[in-house]
């Protein structure tokens, strides 16, 4: 008797916990139910995956979708459109909106805004401050919260906890792993005078490698003192990567495609304000150090740090220009190009974009392609070469720092809980995103 599924992915090369090889995948009720030779099976929908790799759904655990308060740059709908067009099935969105996501009401507001508008699954960070530390234990247990985010160095928005006492107070009150923007605000304040008007190559001088290293050393010391878990975002220096390799019991590590790909000072000379982000893009020494962290297994996740601004804002002379760049839509093709160039394996890509996020954040039912898990898939063509262009960008900002770069490896379909949301560059299901669940705050029946 042949099996019947809602969705059947046939003839592709599957990459999952078992390795990689030809297999079919059967989906029923939004879950994976069979993986193997399903040539005799039937389904309501069959996708021919010949020539494609079937990957677990890509999770981007750091995006800024700017809603509420800055919707002219991005909103939850447009940001999630960029995500699914780039093969991303779930995103974790940051709290530095206006107003900030620093209360249960504001977290609930974001979840309500996402309902029937976001195209991908989603969770939201609670922002940690020197004033709201007592309410963070409540927020981190709310359904749809992926954890607490703390800015130790000032970036876009008003969130900042620059002092050790404030960071320690937050760590002592929370239970889940907290994510940190790690730059030493005291050093940044001292060096702001080093900014050269109109010269973006001075950005990594102002926010130098030592500012990052000082902060990360402080953060690790406080995590050890309090016995808490930390996630250090967008590592940009070789020295931090080496340091964090000795603290793997408490610290997980994120890298971004930008820091792995775009080299200073040339990138500032080429695209000027579009290359400005915090922490800054750095020189070849640091890029090589980050790739060493990928090779040695120090890096747990790749996050895009999607943080769009308009081209008009980006055209302001440095240092009036804002920091941040789009990235959620380009995460998959840029990193697949690195796979094709031999800088990492496809299996390691899957570990960094699916399995790693599941481990670090304790995601329930996502991040793995296995029986009983959500049927989230990113279908990619590893032989498809294409130029990344501003016109391809679905973000409201309408640009990408990777414009003009031809990459090999491209997302062909985004499938979320068994529903095809993007296929061959077209949105096929709208507003169907749901909150991501976590093992540390599972919803009650």
pLDDT in tens, 219-236: 999 999 999 999 999 999
List the chain domain ranges: 4-54+371-384+407-427, 56-361
pLDDT tens, residue by residue, 64-80? 999 999 999 999 999 99
Rg for the chain (alpha carbons), in Å? Answer: 21
The string over 34-69, giving b where at least 16 C-beta atoms fall within 10 Å of a residue's C-beta and e elsewhere, is: bbeebeebebeebbebeebbbbbbbbbbbbbbbbbe
Is residue 249 among the annotated active site residues? no
Higher pLDDT, 300 or 153: 300
pLDDT mean over 300-329: 98
Residue 1 pLDDT exceeds 70: no
**Backbone torsions φ then ψ of 226, nearest 5 degrees:** -95, -10
Per DSSP bridges, beta strands 88-93 and 230-232 are unpaired
Q: pLDDT digit string (tens) for 345-365?
A: 999 999 999 999 999 999 999
SS3 state of residue 62: strand
145 alpha carbon, distance to own chain's centre: 15
The CATH number corresponding to 56-361 among 3.30.428.10, 3.60.20.10, 3.20.20.140, 3.10.300.10 equals 3.20.20.140
Structure tokens at 27: 């989906």
- Give 399's strand partners: none
Tens digits of residue pLDDT in 87-124: 999 999 999 999 999 999 999 999 999 999 999 999 99
In angstroms, what CA-CA distances link 425 with 87, 288, 422?
Answer: 10, 33, 6
The active-site residue, picked from 305, 337, 374, 376, is 305
- Report the top-level CATH class of 4-54+371-384+407-427: mainly beta
- List the beta bridge partners of residue 308: none
Q: What pLDDT does 154 receive? A: 75
The model's pLDDT over 141-180, given as tens digits with 9 standing for 90+, comes to 999 999 999 999 876 666 899 999 999 999 999 999 999 9
Percent of the chain residues topping a pLDDT of 70 = 99
Cβ density class 306-343: b for 16+ within 10 Å, e for less: bbbbbeebbeeebbebbbbbbbbbbbbbbbbbbbeeeb
pLDDT average, residue stretch 417-427: 98
pLDDT in tens, 185-213: 999 999 999 999 999 999 999 999 999 99
CA–CA dist 313, 82 (Å, integer): 20
pLDDT of the residue at 153: 87
With contact defined as beta carbons under 8 Å apart, do 14 and 54 qualify? yes
Given a contact cutoff of 8 angstroms between Cβ atoms, the answer to whether 183 and 190 are in contact is no
């Amino acid at each position: 008797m042949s099996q019947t599924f809602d969705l059947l992915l046939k003839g592709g090369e599957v990459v999952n916990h078992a390795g990689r090889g030809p297999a079919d995948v059967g989906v029923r009720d939004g879950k994976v139910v069979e993986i193997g030779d399903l040539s005799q099976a039937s389904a309501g929908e069959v996708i021919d995956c010949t020539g494609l790799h079937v990957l677990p759904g890509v999770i981007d655990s750091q995006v800024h979708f700017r809603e509420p308060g800055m919707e002219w740059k991005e909103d939850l709908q447009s940001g999630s459109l960029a995500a699914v067009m780039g093969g991303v099935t779930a995103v974790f969105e940051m709290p530095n909106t206006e107003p900030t996501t620093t209360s249960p009401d504001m977290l609930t507001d974001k979840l309500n805004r996402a309902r029937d508008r976001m195209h991908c699954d989603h969770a939201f960070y609670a922002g940690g401050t020197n004033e709201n530390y007592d309410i963070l234990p409540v927020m981190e247990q709310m359904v749809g919260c992926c954890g607490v985010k703390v800015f130790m160095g000032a970036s876009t928005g008003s969130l900042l906890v620059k002092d050790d006492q404030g960071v320690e107070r937050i760590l002592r009150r929370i239970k889940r792993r907290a994510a940190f923007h790690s730059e030493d605000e005291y050093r940044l304040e001292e060096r702001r005078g080093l900014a050269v008007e109109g010269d973006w190559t001075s950005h990594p001088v102002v926010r130098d490698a030592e500012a990052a290293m000082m902060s990360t050393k402080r953060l690790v010391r406080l995590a050890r003192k309090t016995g808490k878990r930390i996630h250090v975002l967008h590592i940009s220096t070789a020295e931090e990567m080496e340091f964090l390799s000795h603290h793997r019991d408490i610290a997980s590590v994120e890298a971004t495609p930008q820091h792995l790909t775009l080299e200073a000072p040339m990138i500032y000379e080429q695209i000027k304000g579009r290359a400005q982000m915090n922490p800054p893009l750095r020189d070849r020494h640091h890029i090589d150090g980050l790739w060493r962290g990928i090779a040695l297994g120090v890096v747990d996740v790749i996050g895009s740090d999607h943080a769009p601004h308009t081209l008009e804002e980006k055209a302001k002379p440095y240092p009036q220009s804002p920091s941040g760049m789009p990235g959620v839509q380009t995460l998959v093709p840029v990193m697949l190009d690195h796979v094709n160039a031999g800088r990492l394996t496809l299996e390691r890509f899957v570990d960094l974009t699916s399995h790693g996020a599941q481990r670090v954040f304790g995601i329930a039912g996502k991040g793995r392609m296995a029986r009983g898990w959500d049927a989230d898939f990113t279908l990619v063509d590893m032989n498809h070469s294409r130029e990344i262009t501003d016109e391809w960008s679905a973000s409201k900002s309408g640009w990408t720092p990777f414009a003009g770069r031809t990459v090999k490896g491209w997302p062909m379909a985004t499938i979320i809980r068994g529903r095809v949301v993007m296929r061959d560059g077209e949105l096929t299901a709208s507003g169907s995103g749901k909150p991501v669940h976590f093992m540390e705050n599972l919803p009650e029946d």
